[in-house]
């Protein structure tokens, strides 16, 4: 396969995300810009400009009308996907590390960092009529979670709970209404770097700096599968169709990169068999650690964004679809 | 191909007009005539087949494809912009069931191997099938003069690939192949002591290092040949030292060559002390 290289960023990528149909790919990086790309040919649809700090996170709703981004300039912005207009900007005390639309598109979840004496918060905003009316500046709920810093968070099925990943490697279920921590489980040894839900949100995959990725069931936080690699992981994604694979990526810490060759850096996307926990293949190409991985909803392509500032969109070859794992 | 004009009338009426017809398989053949740069008339036949591919896409996806570009892309033409979108090198995703992921070989190295598959690579030092710079004996065995004339053709051939592979490992200038400087003698002495070395005596005056190595190399790998030469005349003084890498090879050489005639003299081979 010949990857499509997207060079719309000048600094390292922080998150990439496909929309529900997978025709658009959104990428954010530390260079303040949000880019929208057509995933089939890599054509850039446009840019969303307005942030004045590194953009940490992005999410798009299921109808591809609204886009939300969270940045280190202490704001989160709501955008009109089709024309790049900023519809709303929320101000916070600290940087926004994670944003996500709820399953019904009515709410967004934001994770703010603890910094300068301000505690970490999980905030939920109503964006139900975001495309037509002005949305409220006031959050529906503000949660002050206790315990170690929350690095990643995602909505659980039917918005019944929020799944959060912490700096100490534990995952927690949080009630979005009351803010109570329902249960917690320390699954990783080091900070959790990514958390992506399965299509039906009954399980999710986490990646961690402890060099492993885990599939965790989202009701009791029981670890179902473990994929142990030889490098710190920054992202993990579940392939929704075609093959029962998960894709994990990472690499040596960015600060150590200049001291070793790209081969030793292990900057590869690794494909693991989801059920059998066997590594099946690798895709190399980045010359920096992989920060984020997203898989096309139809499972025919995937994209990875690296510390090197590139997004690489890979469309699988025919033999990928006919591959059968031999036991 | 140039067309021989049979009739000037035909030429004007029929042949200059482009013809086009479609056969049963839907292949359209177009025949055109034009004058090329040399002033010759050329017949151009084109066979084309049109295929209409229907693709069903989501309505929303189709609508999004028509969206006008915005932000930094505002006003740009449709289609990927080479400034932001490029196609990378082909990457093979090799899926394996064994759980053992074969470390993919360096692509450049692989490409070079392919390129040189049909070329014969000959090391100028040990006559092995690797580059001279990659010779494992280049430290212990210098470039022998006699091999140079034979190796010039090969050297020219190698020159380009050698440059390509440069940079993979640093080699000090005086250690590089083709360097005229002599090797540091202390390291030579060190190596000489531990290697099985034969002393060959009763050589004729015309013998060169090349001749000696030619004589002994059939028994095994020679790491060094030293031929004593007269300072002024540069002629052979009649004895030489030959170092082998393997003691067994040296033993066999000693048994075979000792007492053999060479250049109307009878050679004497013994272990060097």
Q: Write out pLDDT tens, residues A198-208.
A: 999 999 999 99
Last residue of a domain, one of A235, A262, A287: A235
pLDDT tens by residue, B254-273: 888 888 888 888 889 998 87
* Residue ranges of chain B with per-residue pLDDT less than 70: 1-16, 99-121, 124-128, 136-169, 171, 173-193
Q: Do A280 and B88 touch (CB under 8 A)?
A: no
Instruction: Check residue B143 and give its pLDDT.
Output: 47
Nearest to B210 by CA among B91, B125, B270: B125
Q: Are residues A49 and A150 in the same domain?
A: yes
- Nearest residue on chain B to A63, alpha-carbon basis: B60
Q: A-B interface: how many C-beta pairs under 8 angstroms?
A: 127
Q: Are residues A249 and A227 in the same domain?
A: no
CA gap A291, A194 in Å, rounded = 9
Q: Which residue has the tokens 């994929």?
A: A227
| Total Cβ atoms within 10 A of residue B180 | 6
Q: Are residues A224 and A242 in the same domain?
A: no
> Which chain B residues have a beta carbon less than 8 Å from that of A5?
85-88
Q: Are residues A230 and A259 in the same domain?
A: no
pLDDT tens by residue, A112-125: 999 888 888 999 99
Q: Answer yes or no: is A1 within a domain.
A: no
Q: Are residues A16 and A114 in the same domain?
A: yes
Q: Answer yes or no: is A291 within a domain.
A: yes
Q: pLDDT class for A135, splitting at 50, 70, 90?
A: confident
Q: Are residues A78 and A31 in the same domain?
A: yes
Q: Are residues A230 and A326 in the same domain?
A: no
Q: Answer yes or no: is A2 within a domain.
A: no
Instruction: Check residue B168 and give its pLDDT.
Output: 58
Q: Does A285 score more than 70 pLDDT?
A: yes
Last residue of a domain, one of A190, A213, A235: A235
Domain count, chain A: 2
Q: Do A282 and B73 touch (CB under 8 A)?
A: no
Q: What is the pTM of this model?
A: 0.65
> Which chain B residues have a beta carbon less than 8 Å from that of A314?
91, 93
Q: Is the CB of B87 inside 8 Å of chain A's CB atoms?
A: yes
Q: Does A302 score more than 60 pLDDT?
A: yes
Instruction: Check residue A294 and give its pLDDT.
Output: 96
Work out the minimum CA distance from A256 to partner chain B, whole angstroms.
21
Q: Do A47 and B71 touch (CB under 8 A)?
A: yes
Q: Answer yes or no: is A83 within a domain.
A: yes
Q: Answer yes or no: is A3 within a domain.
A: no
Q: Do A21 and B61 touch (CB under 8 A)?
A: yes
Nearest to A278 among B74, B87, B99 (CB): B99
Q: Is the CB of B102 inside 8 Å of chain A's CB atoms?
A: no
Q: Do B88 and A4 touch (CB under 8 A)?
A: yes
Q: Are residues A101 and A191 in the same domain?
A: yes
Region A59-70: mean pLDDT is 94
Instruction: Check residue A316 and give its pLDDT.
Output: 93
Q: Is the CB of B172 inside 8 Å of chain A's CB atoms?
A: no
> Which chain B residues have a beta carbon less than 8 Å from that of A3?
87-88, 91
Q: Answer yes or no: is A4 within a domain.
A: no
**Touching B: A residues 282-301, CB under 8 Å:** 282-285
Instruction: Check residue B154 and give its pLDDT.
Output: 41
Instruction: Check residue A326 and give its pLDDT.
Output: 83
> Which chain A residues have a beta carbon less than 8 Å from that of B72?
33, 44, 46-47, 49
Which range of residues forms the domain containing residue A310? 236-327
Q: Answer yes or no: is A106 within a domain.
A: yes
Instruction: Check residue B8 and give its pLDDT.
Output: 63
Region A94-114: mean pLDDT is 93
Nearest to A192 by CA among A173, A214, A174: A214
Computed over every residue of chain A, the mean pLDDT equals 91
CA distance to B217, B239, B243, per residue, from B255 (Å):
14, 18, 15
More confident residue, B26 or A250: A250
Q: Are residues A173 and A51 in the same domain?
A: yes
The verdict on ipTM greater than 0.90 is no
Q: Is the CB of B185 inside 8 Å of chain A's CB atoms?
A: no
Q: Do B91 and A314 touch (CB under 8 A)?
A: yes
Q: Do B70 and A44 touch (CB under 8 A)?
A: no
Residue B156's SS3 state is helix
Q: Are residues A67 and A211 in the same domain?
A: yes
Q: Does A109 score more than 90 pLDDT?
A: yes
Last residue of a domain, one of A198, A217, A235: A235
Q: Are residues A241 and A231 in the same domain?
A: no
Instruction: Check residue B109 and give its pLDDT.
Output: 59
Q: Does A7 score more than 50 pLDDT?
A: yes
Does residue B119 come out as left (phi exceeding 0), alpha (psi in the -120 to 50 range) or beta? Answer: beta
Per-domain residue ranges of chain B: 187-273
Got the DSSP string for B100-133?
Answer: -PPPPPPHHHHHHHHHTSSSPP--TTT--SS-GG
Q: Are residues A42 and A180 in the same domain?
A: yes
The CATH number that domain B187-273 falls under is: 3.30.70.330
Evaluate whether A105 touches A62 at the Cβ level (below 8 Å): yes
């Amino acid at each position: 396969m010949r990857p499509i290289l997207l060079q719309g960023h000048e600094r390292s990528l922080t998150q990439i995300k496909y929309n529900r149909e997978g025709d658009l790919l959104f990428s954010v990086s530390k260079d303040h810009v949000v880019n929208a790309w057509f995933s089939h040919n890599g054509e850039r649809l446009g840019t969303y400009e307005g942030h004045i700090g590194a953009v940490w996170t992005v999410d798009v709703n299921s109808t591809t009308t609204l886009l939300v981004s969270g940045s280190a300039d202490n704001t989160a912005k709501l955008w009109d996907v089709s024309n790049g207009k900023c519809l709303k900007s929320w101000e916070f005390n600290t940087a926004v590390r994670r944003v996500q639309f709820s399953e019904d598109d009515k709410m967004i979840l934001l994770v703010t960092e603890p910094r300068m004496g301000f505690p970490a918060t999980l905030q939920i905003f109503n964006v139900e009529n975001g495309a037509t009316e002005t949305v409220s500046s006031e959050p529906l709920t503000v949660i002050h979670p206790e315990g170690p810093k929350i690095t990643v968070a995602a909505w659980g099925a039917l918005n019944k709970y929020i799944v959060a990943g912490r700096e100490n490697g534990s995952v927690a279920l949080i009630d979005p209404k009351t803010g109570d921590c329902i249960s917690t489980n320390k699954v990783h040894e080091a900070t959790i770097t990514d958390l992506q839900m399965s299509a039906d949100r009954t399980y999710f995959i986490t990646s961690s700096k402890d060099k492993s990725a885990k599939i965790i069931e989202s009701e009791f936080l029981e670890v179902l599968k473990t994929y142990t690699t030889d490098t710190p992981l920054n992202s993990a994604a579940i392939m929704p169709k075609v093959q029962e694979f998960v894709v994990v990526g990472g690499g040596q810490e960015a600060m150590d990169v200049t001291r070793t060759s790209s081969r030793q850096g292990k900057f590869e996307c690794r494909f693991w068999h989801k059920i059998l926990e066997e590594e099946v293949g690798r895709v190399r190409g980045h010359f920096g650690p992989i920060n984020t991985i997203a898989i096309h909803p139809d499972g025919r392509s995937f994209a990875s964004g690296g510390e090197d500032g590139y997004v690489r969109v890979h469309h699988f070859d025919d033999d990928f679809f006919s591959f059968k794992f031999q036991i | 191909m140039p067309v021989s004009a049979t009739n000037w009338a035909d030429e004007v009426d029929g042949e200059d007009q482009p013809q086009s017809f479609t056969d049963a398989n839907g292949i359209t053949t177009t025949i055109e005539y034009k004058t090329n740069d040399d002033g010759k008339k050329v017949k151009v036949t084109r066979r084309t087949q049109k295929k209409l591919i229907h693709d069903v896409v989501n309505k929303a996806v189709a609508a999004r494809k028509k969206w006008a570009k915005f932000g930094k892309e505002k006003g740009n033409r449709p289609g990927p912009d080479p400034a932001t979108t490029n196609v990378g090198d082909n990457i093979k995703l090799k899926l394996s069931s064994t759980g053992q992921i074969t470390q993919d070989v360096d692509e450049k190295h692989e490409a070079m191997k392919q390129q040189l598959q049909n070329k014969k690579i000959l090391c100028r030092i040990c006559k092995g099938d690797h580059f001279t710079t990659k010779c494992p004996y280049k430290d212990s065995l210098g470039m022998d003069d006699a091999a140079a004339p034979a190796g010039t053709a090969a050297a020219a051939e190698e020159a380009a690939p050698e440059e390509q592979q440069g940079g993979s490992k640093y080699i000090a200038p005086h250690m590089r192949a083709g360097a005229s400087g002599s090797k540091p003698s202390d390291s030579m002495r060190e190596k000489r002591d531990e290697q099985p070395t034969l002393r060959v005596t009763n050589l004729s005056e015309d013998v060169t290092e090349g001749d000696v190595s030619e004589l002994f190399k059939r028994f095994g790998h020679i790491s060094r040949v030293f031929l004593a030469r007269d300072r002024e005349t540069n002629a052979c003084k009649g004895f030489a030292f030959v170092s082998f890498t393997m003691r067994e090879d040296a033993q066999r050489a000693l048994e075979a060559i000792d007492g053999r005639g060479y250049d109307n003299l009878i050679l004497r081979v013994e272990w060097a002390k």
